[in-house]
Chain A
Amino acid sequence: MTTNKNKIQFLLGDKLTEIEFNSEISPTTTVLNYLRSLPNHKGVKEGCAEGDCGACTVVIAEESNNKLTYKSFDSCLIFLPSLHGKQLITVENVGTSEKLHPVQEALVETHASQCGFCTPGFTMSLFSLYKQDFIPSKEFIIDALTGNLCRCTGYKPIIEAAHKCCGEHNHDYFSENENETILKLKGIKNSTNNIVIDNGIQKYFLPSNLAEALQLRTDLPNATIINGGTDIALRVTKKHEIITTIIDLSQTIGLKKITKTDKEWIIGTGVSIEDVRIEVKDIFPALYEMLSVFGSKQIRNKATFGGNIGSASPIGDSTPVLMAYNSTLVLKNTKAEREIKLREFITGYRKTQMSSDELIIAVKIPIPNTNEIIKSYKVSKRKDLDISTVSACFNLLKDEKGKIKEIFMFYGGMAATTSRASKTEDFLNGKEWNRENIEKAMKLIDEDYTPISDARAGAEARKIMARNLLMKFYNDTINL
């Protein structure tokens, strides 16, 4: 095993491809821009360069345990180095007009393209669904497509195409060549581990293990950390910034583990939002609900749990929920590890207690007691693939008589940080869980927050939403 200097290797379709970074090729080149610079991969389209339209969707296959998993991603948000050791599949690889893949055939036959500009992206999202090899329900299909916008069709035929082509025992070119692909990918991974890129303008590190990552963090305290990169990539694609030093944790093993005990779950910060979502469904339903309206499939496949916390955004969706579950973060530097309650971790607008040599390595979520009622809510203009206008998560503990023993109310979108409605909580604690008290409490929320007006909604509407979410929680828990 060696360190790869200035070079990455991956499969483009089945072609072993090597990219050498130099002053002409920046390591923060997006996969979208790279593909579009090639003569034969112009099928991938740019509709927004910010992960909101899916026109740039590609599928990336990864090998683990001698199996390939096929996931959809927005290529506009991926920097080239993170492709290392993976198979990148574009619409051209899936099939040609002379030899269509079953997914493409179905799209043609259901009249699912009009202007066609969104179509390559839909093709790829459907292709990844097809590769899951099961008969998807309508919900599953919709979930696979929330990251793709179409302005022409009204989506109906696209859903129909999905029903038509996805099923069990799918067989295609990719399954035929699976073994060969696995061998090729293993070959790349066996020959390298760490990637170090320095093109004279930018430095980009892709450490393969945690120790390496922490060392880099100590050595380069001003480097930008990326994990999924869905936040940071926008600085490049939208603000056209040149980020000079990047430590990319996306290939760092050791951050991708979920440990489950009877008391708590310890979720590595490198686990994707989608993987967390699928895992937590039964044990942490409020987290599951929230993550189910988080971004889109493509975003959730890329975005990480750690990145969501690390960004410390007041409209980050996992924070109010993790706070309501009273989660703890595990921070680590080269010397030590420490734990800190998430409720205390965030200190201001995008400010945290993390020091410049630390990384957040895991989140510990205690399994709630059976008498804790926890529910999460998100209000956004559009239900899917939209950032919260207001989000909330409540944790209610009733005593034997049914009175409120303790209630925790966390709101996102109401202040510069995710924050507690302390006055309202104080009022409710010790009172009956009844409509009258809820209505009184709703008035107090106005005292807890002075929200802002922005592109998403005005302050007045935010206040109404915050009040109403408490009523909604009450109504949802009335019989519990």
Chain B
Amino acid sequence: MKKIYHESAKYHVSGEAIYIDDIEVNNQLLHGYVYTSPVAHAKIKSYNYSEAQKLAGVHAILNYKDIPGHNQMVPVFQDEVILAIDEVTFIGQAIFLIAAETEEIARQASKLIEIEYEELPAILTIEDAIQNGVTVQPSRKIETGDINEAFKNAKNIIEGELKIGGQEHWYLETQICLCIPQEGRDMKVFSSTQNPSETQLLVAEALGLHKMNVEVEMKRMGGGFGGKETQGNHVAVWSAILANYTKKPVKIRLFRDEDQKMTGKRHRFLIKYKAAFDENGLISAVDFEQNADAGATSDLSMSILERAMLHAENSYYVPNMRIIGHAWKTNLPSNTAFRGFGGPQGIAAMETIIDRIARTLKKDSAEIRNINFYALFERNVTPYGQKIENNRLPKIWEQIIETSEYFARRKQVNEFNQKNEFYKKGLALTPIKFGISFTTAFLNQAGALVHIYNDGSVLVNHGGTEMGQGLHTKMRQIAAKELGIDYENVKVNATNTTKVPNTSPTAASSGADMNGMAVKDAIDKIKKRLSTFIACKFGATYRDNTSDAENLVYDRNIIYDWKQPERKISFNDAIKAAYLGRINLSSNGFYATPGVNFNRDRGFGKPFFYFSYGMAVSEVLLDILTGYTKILRTDILHDVGESLNVDLDKGQVEGAFIQGVGWCTTEELKYDSKGNLLNHSPDTYKIPGVNDIPEIFNVNLLKGYPQPGTIHRSKAVGEPPFMLSFSVWLAIKDAISSIKNHEIEPNFQIPATNENILLSIENLKK
């Protein structure tokens, strides 16, 4: 098959790709700046910005009273104001908006603003939040079997707590939006958002307009990773308010440090667990209490917590299980979506249990995993009642154990550790089962709009957004394949709310699944009309009975009747003829994922259309004197059904894995006692660099297992491989644990920074 490169690759490499900050605007452009709270919790006693307003070049300084519409920017729970009223609840909360001729002037103006606060007690840790007892929304529960009975009968019980740190998205392109006022009060919004329809809604509400008055366009993001699912909206709403007020184009681009300080992160979690198992390591019961740090507002915390709970058992069958989830309110920026969406936190705790069972029983952890995996025909119902179909775990296990030479390497690692005092190796295999679909059922819908122009070229619009994942490339491929034409004859347009309305965010890894189906639906509709017309035309040409429209095949730029292959016409000629024949060559398309439902109150249902699977084996070398770890080798086998584009999918697997490795190892968020984030720039916040990837990095996609019922039998790929990074995390733990011959359970958490590793080793030595 011909290689299909990322549709924007040649623009990326030549610097021609246009991001929002690259859009040329007339010289009326103003720069927006957000004045934010420097305190975590306080009453605003008084303020004065008259001096700032006088500064030459300042066009507007606005407060909450200047918002023409609704002062809200969280759609469902409505608990996050656009601009603070009389109280601030986190550092980085927006209080005033400034528009000025240059960023410099805006910044100077902000320094002239006087404001007086009355500080209030702030909740800055999960522990304090639990003490304080306030959640952003009511807590949730999923329960199956009878855990009390199971714990009563248990042979072995382990209990513990796992601390899981947050993660900064560190998209290369910081949050940005450009708003250009149109006729009347209409607004055109160029927003770096994963969720154009929601951006449109929130801008409309803030300006007191209807959605029809607001057009949101998104060509490409310089990375999103979930960080622009809701929080791209904030910058959009702020710039829209300024643009509406000044009647001039306004751009807000967050400076890197501001972005890191103001925006939400992956949720920190504190998970308390208890597990029962027999002498072989077979698990009979697990009890989890998941405590998430929601931050100051709801944002997406409940959906994220829900996904954490729905992934609490990972790939293992647990007959008796209880998962209680709390999203605690703290005085930090509201935490938000990040690749995996709670799944990683839920799974980390389960993998910790498995790891501890192995240590307790002095067995290899891969074997404990194997006996607990969901089985094919029994032991295959999740704690929330969904039956696992098309389970690929046994196949993947079989293949990766062999290709990674797991057991032979386990021996080598043990031998190495016997011989070396200051360097230790660790090895771990971890699996992932990840549910695909939004757990909020109504979001599982997508739309498309496809035009075939009368020169035969095709323009696809769909509701998904491009943030690097290659969604547009895949949509082009799907359209080309469905129409039987060359990939080069299809183009995908910038995502625009005037083309496809009411779309869902590009999230939950579902972008290609759902939009692909919608594109196909649109094309099917056009093909139906076109086939009828061409079939008729064949009849006329051959002075014979017409062809049956159903028999027409679209392939290699030709449309032909497979029953009478001599009846054929080139695609372009067919389109020309159809145009002259006054056939509609444009159509919308729609898709709603069938059969998904989930009852939150009961914690029961079929939230997922299907599951994605994968496994990774990683080996690390730990320098126990410096705590520095090196990944020697990683083998990944991941399931994407029948890949839409092998190269793009591998790219997603590798990228997600490394992003996960960052979260598990060097990416750390520290706060001071006032709630200031200390790691607010890449100087101290360390994402993986080129030297942090495995020395040997074998990434393969599972072959020969198409997924029934999906677009071209493919599967989602964006998020699941993120969690394969637990193989690295637990390999590090394995290495630490070998210092005491695996006899003592080491302290371990996410992230395993060299600091945390050294502290854990010191503790072992005590």
A contact set with B: CB distance below 8 Å: 36, 39, 41-50, 52-53, 55, 90-92, 94-97, 100, 103-104, 107-109, 111, 113-120, 123, 142, 145-146, 148-159, 238, 240, 377, 379, 381-387, 389, 454-458, 460-461, 464-465, 468-469, 471-472, 475
Contacts and interface: CB of A to CB of B under 8 A. Distances in A.
Contacts of B22: 42
Given A116-B220, A117-B222, A149-B682, A107 B13 contact: yes
Given A383-B692, A384-B689, A455-B684, A120 B15 contact: yes
Given A91-B14, A100-B13, A464 B759 contact: yes
Interface residues of B, number: 79
B223 A115 contact: yes
A148 B699 CA distance: 23
B693 A156 contact: yes
Given A50-B681, A240-B107, A108 B9 contact: yes
B11 A146 contact: no
B115 interface: no
Nearest to A470: B625
Contact of B6 (A53, A90, A114, A379): A114
A114 B628 contact: no
Given A49-B256, A152-B651, A238-B681, 6 more contacts: A45-B172, A53-B172, A97-B13, A146-B689, A153-B655, A383-B628
B687 A117 contact: no
A59 to B, nearest CB: 13
Given A100-B14, A385-B689, A455 B469 contact: no
A342 B502 CA distance: 67
Given A49-B256, A117-B223, A381-B753, A111 B651 contact: yes
B173 A146 contact: no
Contact of A468 (B5, B220, B626, B691): B626
Given A464-B758, A471-B625, A109 B5 contact: yes
B375 to A, nearest CB: 33
A382 B689 contact: yes
Which 3 residue pairs are nearest across A and B when measured between Cβ atoms? A43-B15, A115-B468, A117-B222
B691 A39 contact: no
Nearest to A123: B13
B10 interface: yes
Interface of A, helix, strand, loop or mixed by DSSP? loop
B601 interface: no
Interface string B1-24: 001011011111111111101101
B13 A48 contact: no
A155 B9 contact: no
A45 B220 CA distance: 15
Contact of A90 (B15, B172, B223, B753): B15
A115 B690 contact: no
B221 interface: yes
Given A116-B222, A154-B655, A238-B257, A461 B172 contact: no
Nearest to A122: B13
Contacts of A472: 422, 625-626
B666 interface: yes
Contacts of A113: 6, 8-9, 12-13, 468
B255 A49 contact: yes
A154 B634 CA distance: 13
B220 A115 contact: yes
A129 to B, nearest CB: 12
Interface in B644-683: 647-648, 650-651, 654-659, 666, 668, 670, 678-679, 681-683
11 contacts: A45-B19, A47-B173, A50-B683, A113-B8, A116-B468, A151-B223, A151-B655, A158-B690, A238-B681, A379-B754, A475-B422
A381 B691 contact: no
Interface in B733-759: 753-755, 758-759
A109 B286 CA distance: 48
Contacts of A115: 171-173, 220-224, 467-468
A454 B759 CA distance: 16
Contacts of B670: 455
Contact of A43 (B16, B222, B758, B762): B16
A97 B10 contact: yes
Given A53-B172, A461-B758, A116 B11 contact: yes
Interface of B: 3, 5-6, 8-19, 21-22, 24, 104, 107, 169-174, 220-225, 255-257, 422, 467-470, 625-628, 647-648, 650-651, 654-659, 666, 668, 670, 678-679, 681-684, 686-693, 697, 699, 753-755, 758-759, 762
A48 B171 CA distance: 11
B111 to A, nearest CB: 10
Nearest to A237: B255
Contacts of B16: 43, 92, 96-97
Contacts of B657: 154
A322 B366 CA distance: 49
A472 B18 CA distance: 50
Contacts of A97: 10-11, 13-14, 16
A111 B647 contact: yes
B104 A240 contact: yes
A82 B679 CA distance: 31
Contacts of A456: 684
A151 B659 contact: yes
Contacts of B469: 114
Nearest to A458: B755
Contacts of A156: 654, 693, 697, 699
**A96, A382, A471, A472: residue with the most chain B Cβ atoms closer than 10 Å:** A382
B681 A142 contact: no
Contacts of B220: 115-116
Nearest to A234: B683
B172 A118 contact: yes
B468 A152 contact: yes
Contacts of A382: 666, 686, 688-689, 692
Contacts of A153: 651, 654-655
B471 to A, nearest CB: 11
